[in-house]
């Protein structure tokens, strides 16, 4: 496994009131270590579509998925449905487990969890803000 790309930290960038931590500076960070991609159970997916925008995951975002994390209600997961991968959120409706999309602007039927394989749990999402 490659050691990873190390990027130099320029400094802290305030996104509100000035912080005493602004003077803090580290030499470099490894994106592989930061995203924990050096784990055998971590995988990367590119999201296609807008079914999860209300969960903060948008079309073309990249997500890091852990296969060794036990999914729980409220997590975002990658599941195999109908032979393909989908990004959804496990919930309970009327006592039954199902997977739901998170975009109220579009009509998505909840998917029954019966016969669905939860492939992994989404841990991190990355977005390119230039698009």
Nearest to 86, CA basis, from 68, 70, 103: 103
SS3 state at 21: helix
Q: Looking at the domain assignment, is residue 11 inside a domain?
A: yes
**In a shared domain, residues 28 and 63:** no
Band (103; pLDDT cuts 50, 70, 90): very high
The total of structural domains in the chain comes to 2
As a whole number, the mean pLDDT across the chain is: 82
Does the pTM of the predicted model rise above 0.85?
Answer: no
Q: Looking at the domain assignment, is residue 101 inside a domain?
A: yes
Nearest to 44, CA basis, from 2, 78, 83, 3: 78
What per-residue confidence (pLDDT) applies to 1? 40
Distances (CA, A) of 65 to 19, 72, 82: 32, 14, 20
**In a shared domain, residues 27 and 59:** no
**In a shared domain, residues 51 and 112:** yes
What per-residue confidence (pLDDT) applies to 41? 85
**In a shared domain, residues 10 and 46:** no
Q: Looking at the domain assignment, is residue 131 inside a domain?
A: no
How do residues 51-79 score in pLDDT, each as one tens digit? 999 999 999 999 999 999 899 888 999 99
What per-residue confidence (pLDDT) applies to 4? 60
**In a shared domain, residues 47 and 106:** yes
CATH number at residue 55: 2.10.109.10
How do residues 106-119 score in pLDDT, each as one tens digit? 887 777 777 888 99
């Amino acid at each position: 496994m490659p050691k990873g790309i190390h990027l130099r930290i320029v400094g802290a960038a305030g996104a509100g009131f000035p912080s005493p931590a602004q003077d803090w500076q580290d030499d470099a960070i490894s994106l592989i270590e930061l995203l924990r991609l050096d784990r055998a159970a971590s995988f990367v997916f590119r999201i296609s579509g807008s079914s999860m925008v209300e969960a903060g995951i948008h079309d073309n975002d990249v997500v890091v998925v852990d296969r060794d994390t036990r999914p729980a209600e409220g997590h975002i997961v990658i599941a195999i449905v109908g032979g393909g991968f989908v990004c959804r959120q496990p919930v309970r409706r009327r006592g039954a487990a199902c997977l739901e999309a998170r975009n109220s602007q579009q009509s998505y039927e909840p998917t029954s969890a019966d016969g669905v394989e939860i492939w992994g749990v989404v841990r991190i999402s990355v977005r390119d803000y230039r698009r």
